[in-house]
Every structure is written in C-alpha cells, then in structure tokens.
Structure 1
Amino acid sequence: MTAASMGRQTRQLTKGFTARLTGKAERGADRKVRRGSVDVEDRRARVFQPIGDGTTAGAMGWIDCMLKVVAEWDNEQRAKGGARPLGLHGLRVLEALLGRHGKVALDFKSGRLDPALETIARAAGVTKTTVVRALARLKDMKVLDWVRRSERTGNDGVFGPQRRQVSNAYFFTPHELPARVAQRLRDLLARKRLRRMGTTPAASPAATTEPSCPDLRGTLARIKAGIARRDEGVNASPPCGQYPLSGVEE
C-alpha cells in the first residue's frame, strides 16, 4: 500500500470517528446525489397526475391524441425547412414513456411514472444517452417535466453515503404547450369524447294527441287520407312516354 492511499484511509477513518464522537454522523449532500433532488416522501416529489380522466378508455384516448399532436408538430417544423424539435428517436422515447412499447409502467389512475433511464432506453430501443437528450427536448417543448428524487440509505450513525439517487418522477404538462398546439390537443380530445359518447342523441317519439270528439277524429282521418292520396299522385312515376300527370303522349 502506498503512502498516499494510507493517508486517504487515515483521513477517512478520522472523519468517521469525529462524526460519531460529535454526533454528526450524517454528512452534507452526498457526492452521487444530484443537486436539486428532493426526498421521495417530500410533497415536492408528488407530481403525478391522472392520465386523461384516469380510466383505461380515457387514458388510451389521451395518449393517442398527445402522440398525434406532438408528431404533427415535429413534422410541421421539418416541412418548414427547419430541424425537427424532437426527431424519430425522441418520438420513440415519448411513446415508451406513454407505455406504447411495454417495459415502462404507467399508472393511468394516479399517473405514476418513474422508470429508470435504462428502462426507458430498453423500451424505446435507443441508448441511454439518446434518452437523456430526448428528455431534454421534450422538456424544452413543454411536453413533460420531472423532479429529481433521492432517498435515505439507512446508514444513520455510520460513516458513508446517507442518501442515494433514485429515478425521476415524470409528469406531462399539456397546459404549458404553445397555444396553437394545446388547442389542437383539446380539439382532438373533444372529438374523441364525442365519438365515445355518441354524437347523435336518441330521437324521442313525437307525442300524438287524438281529439276526444268522435266527429272531429273522423274529420281529421278523412283529411289525412286525402293528403295521402294526393301525395301518392304527385310522387308517382309518370307512365313511360307521357309528361307528368298528363295523358298527352310525346
């Protein structure tokens, strides 16, 4: 063992003993915990929101509309001659987060979505680096956001890491989309809801009231019969070779 490594070990042991003796066993922020991370139990980490209306049918419809709107937006920018804001790999990452490729668990009712980056990468069929870039673009586009989280290691009273990084808590932000894109999403969702509910209300049968007087009922019946005979005569096809309702042949 070199003198340098022995020196490092000695300093670590000294710090550990000092921490235990002074009652300050917990260090400050652990080096492997990202800055800005909050505890998993912290209210700031409770960002999950129901997908659609929280039902399976409502969530699936919401997912369809969200993917369609984002894909249209991405293609529109390309058609204008600009760079895609998201790209094909980015769309695959979004599809994976919305549960389209399996492996990523998305709870429709609670909106819980906290997969590891490696899980997203496997589901989307891309690298972890690609996932990180795609997430950054999706955040810039106001499609989604996330909260970094950490949790206690349970090493209280022991010199060592007191906290460890855990997966992010992801949530979608359709209300922050550009006005035109958000309106397109609302329109698609409204149409889908109408299709689910049925756009044609059941026609209620017209109420028929017959007069109580027998003579009046008879008069009305004769009038209806006369109207029916007249309509039959008007609507009947004329005999071949004759003008309508005339006996004059061509």
Structure 2
Amino acid sequence: MSASDPTTARQARQLTKKLAAELSGKQRGPDREVRRHSFDEEKPEAKPWRPIGDGTRDGALGWIDCMLEVARDFDDLERRKGGGRPLGANGLAVLEILLGRRGRKRIPIDFKTGRLFPAIDTIAEAANLCRVTVVRALARLRAHGFLRWVRRSRKTGKDGEFGPQREQTSNAYYFDPGALPKTVRQRLLQLWDRKLAAIGKRYGAPPPTPDSPPQPAYSPLRKALSEMRSSFDNASLPSSPAIPAQG
C-alpha cells in the first residue's frame, strides 16, 4: 500500500491528531453525535420492549385493533369538546404504521417480543410524510401516552482511532398502556376483555357462569389480561425524551 493511498493518509492524519491531543494534555469528551439519555443498543435499558397483546398472532392483532380504536375515539372525543385533535391524522397514521396496519412499506414488529426500532426516515417513507411531520406526530403520540421510546447509541467500530467512538442509532419504540389517560386505558381494557373472550371461544373456552365474566381459554391469554390490568394499576408517567432525535 503506497503512501499516497487515501486510507493510509487518513489514518496518518488521525494518528497525528491523536498524538497532538495527548501531547497537549487534551482528552476526548463525549461524542457530539450522541444525544443525552442514550443507551448502548446492547444494554438492557435499550431493550424496553414487551409482547404485543399476549405475544401470539391472534392476540397481538386483537390488541392492535383495540389500541387503534381507542386512539381514534380519543382523538374524536377531544375534538368534540371544542379543541383540536390531540393526535391528528398524521399521529394516527404513524401509530398505524408502527403497529403494522398500514404503510407503503410495512414496518416489521415482533409480536412475541415487541421489538420495534425503525429509523425516523423509514417511518416517513412508509407514511409518505416528511421527516419533520413524523417527528411532530411521534411527539404527540408520546405526549398522550400512546407511544414511548428509548434513545439508543452504538459503537462506530473505530476503536483506537482519534474520532467518534459512538453514534446515534434508531430509537427503541414500545407501548405502555399504563401511560394512557385513565379513561382511555379503562376503555382499552374493556375492549381487550371482549377481544380475548372472542379469541378464547375459538380455542374452546368454557362458557361463563352467571357470576363470572368470560375468561380466555388458555393460560397465555389469561396472563396477558392479568399483566395489562397490573400495568393499569401501576400507571406511571412517561420518562423518555420528548423529541425522538435519532438517525
């Protein structure tokens, strides 16, 4: 490899900068490309996902239908009260895209784990919206509890070089029913109860007694319903950043 090779020249410049910084007593500070409150993508904090519904295909699709229904109802109700639409058409569209219900290019979501980490540009392409509009839509969804996210970063693979060691990567998005307004999450629980009962019938659920409501037929559905009720009882305000800045 000759001295005129671009790679060699670049490495030489990086080494020169590194040595000059060391001689002057300077140390590299935090990577400017990484936003605050970002977690390494391999850390548990960067993997906040939870199963969609009960994690099964039928259960997840049923939960998604319920979530979208309460989102539309919430938007309509707030408008009828005399205000604007808190989510708006773009907010609802982005929510549908993240839940895999629409989009020119479907964004994959793992029902079993809830893994969901599309880049903002990917969401914008699927929604046929500009990036700024998507960022605003995401912020609206988060402000009203319909979406949460965690910022993530990753290594650049330039260990030993004088340059950024980390870079921003896509956010990890997840859904926390406990963050929804009280009336919205109560409505979601009602719809989810009915949906699980309907799914349970297809799996041979025993008929309910006069003193008990319909119950899901098999343990995964019972567990999903119990966990959702628990999340409502322990509802907390979102703590993730308000603006979904990422690459």
Tell whether the structures are fold-level matches, with TM greater than 0.5.
Answer: yes
| C-alpha displacement of 1:193 | 1.2
Does 2:142 correspond to 1:139?
yes
Q: Partner letter of residue 81 of structure 1?
A: G
The one of 175, 180, 183 equivalent to 2:183 is 180
| C-alpha displacement of 1:195 | 1.5
2:219 matched residue in structure 1: none
2:207 matched residue in structure 1: 201
Residues 151 and 172, structure 2, Cα contact 8 Å, conserved in 1: yes
Residues 18 and 162, structure 2, Cα contact 8 Å, conserved in 1: yes
Q: Partner letter of residue 207 of structure 2?
A: P
Q: RMSD of the TM alignment (CA)? A: 2.5
2:19 matched residue in structure 1: 17
Bigger CA radius of gyration = 1
Q: Partner letter of residue 128 of structure 2?
A: G
Does 2:174 correspond to 1:171?
yes
* Unpaired stretches in structure 2, ≥5 consecutive residues: 1-12, 209-247
| C-alpha displacement of 1:21 | 6.9
Residues 149 and 167, structure 1, Cα contact 8 Å, conserved in 2: yes
2:86 matched residue in structure 1: 85
| Structure of higher RCO (CA pairs closer than 8 Å, 6+ residues apart) | 2
Residues 49 and 116, structure 2, Cα contact 8 Å, conserved in 1: yes
State the secondary structure of the residue aligned to 2:160.
coil
Q: Partner letter of residue 116 of structure 2?
A: L
State the secondary structure of the residue aligned to 2:152.
strand
The one of 94, 108, 112 equivalent to 1:105 is 108
State the secondary structure of the residue aligned to 1:196.
helix
| C-alpha displacement of 1:18 | 3.6
Does 2:72 correspond to 1:71?
yes
Residues 94 and 137, structure 2, Cα contact 8 Å, conserved in 1: yes
Residues 115 and 167, structure 1, Cα contact 8 Å, conserved in 2: yes
Residues 95 and 124, structure 1, Cα contact 8 Å, conserved in 2: no
Residues 58 and 199, structure 2, Cα contact 8 Å, conserved in 1: no
Residues 148-188 of structure 1: per-residue CA shift (max 9 Å, x gap): 11111111111111111100001111112111111100000
Q: Partner letter of residue 30 of structure 1?
A: D
Residues 103 and 119, structure 1, Cα contact 8 Å, conserved in 2: no
Q: Partner letter of residue 100 of structure 1?
A: R
User: d(CA) in 1 for partners of 2:22 and 2:77?
Assistant: 61
| C-alpha displacement of 1:23 | 11
State the secondary structure of the residue aligned to 2:167.
strand
Task: Label 1:200 to 1:46 Cα distance change in 2 as closer, same or farther (>3 A).
Answer: closer
| C-alpha displacement of 1:126 | 1.2
Residues 20 and 157, structure 1, Cα contact 8 Å, conserved in 2: no
Please show how residues 1-250 of structure 1 align to structure 2 within 5 Å: 15-19=17-21, 27-101=28-102, 102-198=105-201, 201=207
User: d(CA) in 2 for partners of 1:21 and 1:155?
Assistant: 21
| TM-score in terms of structure 1 length | 0.71
| C-alpha displacement of 1:197 | 2.0
User: d(CA) in 2 for partners of 1:106 and 1:131?
Assistant: 18
